[in-house]
Amino acid sequence: MFSLQRPQRTDLWSLFDWFGRSCDQAAGVLLNPLIVVIYARSIEDDLVRLSYLVSAFGVAWLLGAATGPIFQRATMRVMPWVVGGFTVRTAAAALLAYSASDRSSPSDQRYRSALICLAAYAAATGLARSAEARHLRSRPTLETAWLRPLAGTLGATAIVAVGAWAMWSVLSVVTIPWSGAFGRVWALATIALGVASLAAIIRGSATPELPAEPSTDRPNLALPATSRHIIGGLAAISLGAIVMFEALALLTLFTDFRRDSAVIRASLAFFAIGWLVGAPLARLALDRLVAPLILQVSIGISVVVLAGAVSLRDIAGADWFPNHINHRDPVALTIYAVAGLIGVASALRRIAMAQIARSTGVPAGATALGFGLLAAIAPIAVAICLDSVSANLILMAGTAVALVGLILTGAIDSGTQLRRSPRDSGPTQFALSTRQ
């Protein structure tokens, strides 16, 4: 006879913990700075000011992660910073949704609100991530055997897929104004962050408080040579610039096909789809390939994106270009493909960079922080240098920067230590890697 046993209370909490971490990753996709840049383009034309959004996200994240250990040692507690960070993240997302929906405010005020909210979200995320990593690094595994395979694969993919479908259902409706559409998207992100915050509180309360001391749970590797630090730092700067060039690719399409700007807005749902395709592929690839190779693949995808964006206007005007493909606009389909490829490249890049940082034992000192800040402000430098340059030259320059990044990334040590270790493949690794 078959009998159905009711899951224990610990199993139910484990299921909610898994759901909360998946919602956290989905919210990170919805609050990606590229999505905020496309929203800001509808109220702000200045390229340099748009680049502030991308750089503010990176700088705030780095400063939050760097100051987190200092605060933890000062208070001798870790868990309050986890709770506080998740709370601020949720509040920042809620304020971003409110400011976007408030059409009575001047456009300049809505832009500043978006900049402040995005920076607050990034700083709180960096602070919470560093505290949570310290708090959960040595925790016992809470997930049950039947849940572990889902936690790292199907869970996050399904939740992000729901977020992508929700984005499409809102952003593809032309009658909904830009402010109202993005306000609804970020309201959904606020709900997801609320669930993630509650799960983080429960997860932390189920784990004994650990002293806020530097952890020794790192691979026993020799510190990289100075030249390797420089190569890695330059590669990070080039990758930071590539992020801005990807945003410029979508902004170029926004300008070239302004009458179809709603298609640009709707393409962000395909960005989320690209992310949910790229994230599991990256985790599977880490079991067989080294992380620098995955980074190179992401850069190659970015080059394809830049080439497609710079040539689409001329190709669309050619006589041989079809008027429709299966009763759909081929220009819209191409824009959707561009946004989806950007999502795939972003997911591959984010997961590979996190793996390199964990596996190579990069010290979180002044050198690493300095290179990180340079990489974060690279989008502003790109915007200042290319503000008065034509779109074609901008994307051609982006291709050159991507090729330089491809070379520098290939120079990163690709030894076997950059493969994911077996202990990193469990649910704890999934919990700590959902950085958005």
- pLDDT (tens, 9 = 90+) of the chain, 436 residues, equals 434 444 444 567 777 877 888 888 889 999 999 999 999 988 888 888 999 999 999 999 988 888 877 877 776 677 778 888 899 999 999 999 999 988 788 888 999 999 999 999 999 998 888 777 666 555 544 454 444 555 556 667 888 888 899 999 999 888 888 888 999 999 999 999 999 888 888 776 666 555 545 444 444 434 445 566 677 778 888 888 888 888 888 888 887 777 677 888 899 999 999 998 888 888 888 878 888 888 889 999 998 998 888 888 788 777 787 877 777 888 888 889 999 999 999 999 888 887 776 655 444 556 667 777 888 888 898 888 877 777 778 888 888 888 888 888 877 765 444 555 444 444 333 333 444 4
Tell whether 203 and 249 lie within a shared domain.
Answer: no
Rounded Cα gap, residues 100 and 179, in angstroms: 5
Same domain, 379 and 259: yes
Tell me which residue range forms the domain holding 274: 221-420
Query: Cα–Cα distances in Å, from 231 out to 109, 181, 360?
Result: 40, 42, 14
Helix and strand numbers (H, E) in the chain are 15, 0
The answer to whether residue 433 sits within a structural domain is no
198 and 278 both lie in a single domain: no
Q: Does 435 fall in a domain?
A: no
Q: Which two tokens stand for residue 401?
A: 């920067």
Asked which of 184, 219, 254 is the last residue of a domain, the reply is: 219
Question: Which CA distances in Å does 106 have to 100, 112, 177, 425?
Answer: 11, 10, 15, 48
| Residues 89, 251, 164, 202, Cα dihedral to 10° | -10
Distant-in-sequence, close-in-space partners of 261: CB < 8 Å, separation ≥ 6: 42, 254
Do 90 and 44 lie in one domain? The reply is yes
In a domain, 184, yes or no: yes
Tell me the C-alpha distance between 208 and 255, whole Å.
Answer: 54
One domain for residues 202 and 230: no
Report the 10 Å Cβ neighbour count for 214: 9
In a shared domain, residues 192 and 172 = yes
Domain co-membership, 359 together with 400:
yes
Are 136 and 193 in the same domain? yes
> Which two three-digit tokens encode residue 319?
């006589």
CB 314 within 8 A of CB 380: no
Are 312 and 211 contained in the same domain?
no
> Is 204 among the domain residues?
yes
**Using CA atoms, how far apart are residues 193 and 161, in angstroms rounded to an integer?**
16
Asked if residue 434 is part of any domain, the answer here is no
Same domain (yes/no): 275, 390: yes
Total domains in the chain come to 2
Contact 183, 31 (CB under 8 A): no
Is the same domain home to 63 and 207?
Answer: yes
202, 219, 236 - which closes a domain? 219
Residue 416 near residue 137, CB atoms below 8 Å: no
Instruction: Decide if 212 contacts 72 (C-beta within 8 A).
Output: yes
Distance CA 290, CA 70 (A): 32
Measured from the Cβ of residue 141, the count of other Cβ atoms closer than 10 Å reads 11
Q: Are residues 261 and 277 in the same domain?
A: yes
- Supply the DSSP symbol for 325: B
Answer yes or no: is 3 within a domain: no
Residue 38, domain member (yes or no): yes
Amino acid at 20: G
In a domain, 212, yes or no: yes
Longest dimension (CA), the chain: 76
Last residue of a domain, one of 199, 219, 239: 219
CATH of the domain at 178: 1.20.1250.20
Amino acid (one-letter) located at 299? I
Does this model's pTM top 0.95? My answer is: no
